[in-house]
Amino acid sequence: SETGCLSIIVLGASGDLAKKKTFPALYHLFRQGFLHSNEVHIFGYARTRISDDELRDRIRGYLGKDAEVVSKFLQLIKYVSGSYDTEAGFQLLDKEISQHEVSKKSSEGSSRRLFYLALPPSVYPTVCRMIRKCCMNKSDLGGWTRIVIEKPFGKDLESAENLSAHIGELFEEAQLYRIDHYLGKELVQNLLVLRFANRFFLPLWNRDNISNVQIVFREDFGTEGRGGYFDEYGIIRDIIQNHLLQILCLVAMEKPVSLKPEYIRDEKVKVLQSVLPIRDEDVVLGQYEGYRDDPTVPDQSNTPTFATVVLRIHNERWEGVPFILKAGKALNSRKAEIRVQFKDVPGDIFKCQKQGRNEFVIRLQPSEAMYMKLTVKQPGLEMSTVQSELDLSYMQRYQGVPIPEAYERLILDTIRGDQQHFVRRDELKAAWEIFTPLLHRIDNGEMKPKEYQPGSRGPVEADELLAKAGYVQTHGYIWIPPTL
Ligand code: BG6
């Protein structure tokens, strides 16, 4: 049942993720009318002993400007304090939720409970056990219990499988929502539509026409403030194994039977299972100078803050097409994009004019856009060519249309019971299978990151690898995001 009383329980309510992402997303859903005060209640749970008002004060600044809406939203929040590994706190939590369910009896009485674990993964198993034991929805009322969890889902194949097995004993897969917030980004969600609703792309999207695909994530700041967390994981676990690999799936997968979430996830798993083992020569690692100055980072840290990894998909569509995944912290710019580079034009009669290759670029952020880089005649009397683009820039084309935050959309999906944009257990396993051997070699110090300057493009070796993989840079052309 998707109506009736809804309780959203944010565990780890006083933490960073809750404050910066979870509560603001809930607020925006509330503001847009997706959460109704007559059926929704929000519970914050954490160890800290604070009052309802203290929690409200902590998050208020992260919400919005409309003071009236903010205060209405904050009134929906109740705080419960308790530990993560004893029953007492969870029994109390259950009591509070039940009271609220009884008081909202008017709304058909059903009991929908959404638990959002904004917690370190080390406590997932215990917390899940406690929820299972003390806080399940009251089945006589109907409804459901769902669990939302965030990466890191383990550190390698074995630990991830252990975690999945633990949680899998307590909850059905249909109750579990593994968030990868990149799947909630507007242009990532657009991939399926683009690829399968447009005749343009169908015949071109394969090894006959595409030379290489890049999926790039760059940040222009380092790991300041979270070096301790980051150092244990590194850029491959933090960004590549999840965010970029999920995008790769959507770019490379075959057409699903239909839009049913299970069909889509089936196709993603197939792509992952077709990825060949990673070869050493297809990897460049980097660590920015100064990374180890962070007091929470060990002096000898071998953790990469940058990586370029070339993946190869062994199937009929993609054999021979390198998928270049690249991610880095403390680089010269902040952006995320997918860049599909086409092969040279055969029998090119304009060759002497050094034309660039066609590229289809999907800019995920900032300045959401899709543009097709193509060669056109330079306007004017001369018959010369120039690089230009067909540009669908969202800011211009969809003026005034707000693009929802990834978390907003994904939380709404969890309430609606749509798992399409969440990572299934077998998908997660296949993703870890690809990266675990490489990660173990890095962890054992068998592969070392190259040093790079903060604010640079990353190690030069990465650009060399890109060229070796067949990427041809277009010189003298730059896409300029439009301004209004
Ligand atoms: C998180 C990573 O998953 O994604 C962070 O842990 C990274 O290291 C962040 O900064 C990037 O997300 P976004 O939405 O800002 O691109």
SS (H, E, C) the chain: CCCCEEEEEEECCCCHHHHHHHHHHHHHHHHCCCCCCCCEEEEEEECCCCCHHHHHHHHHCCCCCCHHHHHHHHHCEEEEECCCCCHHHHHHHHHHHHHHHHHCCCCCCCEEEEEEECCCHHHHHHHHHHHHHHCCCCHHHCEEEEEEEECCCCCCHHHHHHHHHHHHHHCCHHHEEEECHHHHCHHHHHHHHHHHCCCCCCCCCCCCCEEEEEEEEECCCCCCCCHHHHHHHHHHHHHHHHHHHHHHHHHHCCCCCCCCHHHHHHHHHHHHHCECCCCHHHEEEEEECCHHHCCCCCCCCCCCCEEEEEEEECCCCCCCCEEEEEEECCECCCEEEEEEEECCCCCCCCHHHCCCCCEEEEEEECCCEEEEEEEEECCCCCCCEEEEEEEEEHHHHCCCCCCCCHHHHHHHHHHHCCCCCCCCHHHHHHHHHHHHHHHHHHHCCCCCCEEECCCECCCHHHHHHHHHCCCCCCCCCCCCCCCC
- Whole-number average pLDDT of the chain: 95
Quick one: pLDDT at residue 138? 84
Quick one: pLDDT at residue 481? 85
Residues 317-372: tens digit of each pLDDT: 999 999 999 999 999 999 999 999 999 999 999 877 777 899 999 999 999 999 99
Query: What mean pLDDT comes out for the span 281-287?
Result: 98
pLDDT score of 381 more than 80: yes
Take atom 9 of ligand 1 and give the residue whose Cα is closest: 239
Active-site residue (options: 28, 100, 181, 243)? 243
pLDDT score of 483 more than 90: no
Take atom 8 of ligand 1 and give the residue whose Cα is closest: 238
pLDDT band at 147 (very low <50, low <70, confident <90, very high): very high
Query: What mean pLDDT comes out for the span 105-122?
Result: 84
Take atom 5 of ligand 1 and give the residue whose Cα is closest: 238
Quick one: pLDDT at residue 4? 81
| Residue 106 CA to ligand 1 centre (angstroms) | 41
Quick one: pLDDT at residue 316? 98
| Residue 456 CA to ligand 1 centre (angstroms) | 19
ipTM: 0.96
Question: In whole angstroms, what is the distance from residue 442 CA to residue 450 CA?
Answer: 12
Query: What mean pLDDT comes out for the span 29-52?
Result: 95
pLDDT score of 68 more than 80: yes
Share of the chain above pLDDT 70, in %: 98
To test the ligand 1 pocket, which listed residue (21, 186, 217, 219) has its Cβ within 8 A of the most ligand atoms?
219
Question: In whole angstroms, what is the distance from residue 229 CA to residue 208 CA?
Answer: 43
Quick one: pLDDT at residue 107? 53
Take atom 4 of ligand 1 and give the residue whose Cα is closest: 239
| Residue 366 CA to ligand 1 centre (angstroms) | 13
Q: In this predicted model, which residue has the larger pLDDT, 108 or 470?
A: 470
- Specify which of 101-105, 293-297, 354-358 reaches the highest per-range mean pLDDT: 293-297
Residues with CB under 6 A from ligand 1: 181, 219, 238, 336
Q: Is 181 a catalytic residue?
A: no
Quick one: pLDDT at residue 1? 53
| Residue 352 CA to ligand 1 centre (angstroms) | 43
pLDDT score of 268 more than 70: yes
Work out which ligand 1 atom sits closest to the CA atom of 242: 3
Query: What mean pLDDT comes out for the span 71-99?
Result: 96
| Residue 436 CA to ligand 1 centre (angstroms) | 21
Quick one: pLDDT at residue 2? 65
Quick one: pLDDT at residue 352? 77
pLDDT band at 106 (very low <50, low <70, confident <90, very high): low
Take atom 13 of ligand 1 and give the residue whose Cα is closest: 182
pLDDT score of 108 more than 90: no
To test the ligand 1 pocket, which listed residue (178, 181, 407) has its Cβ within 8 A of the most ligand atoms?
181
Quick one: pLDDT at residue 227? 85
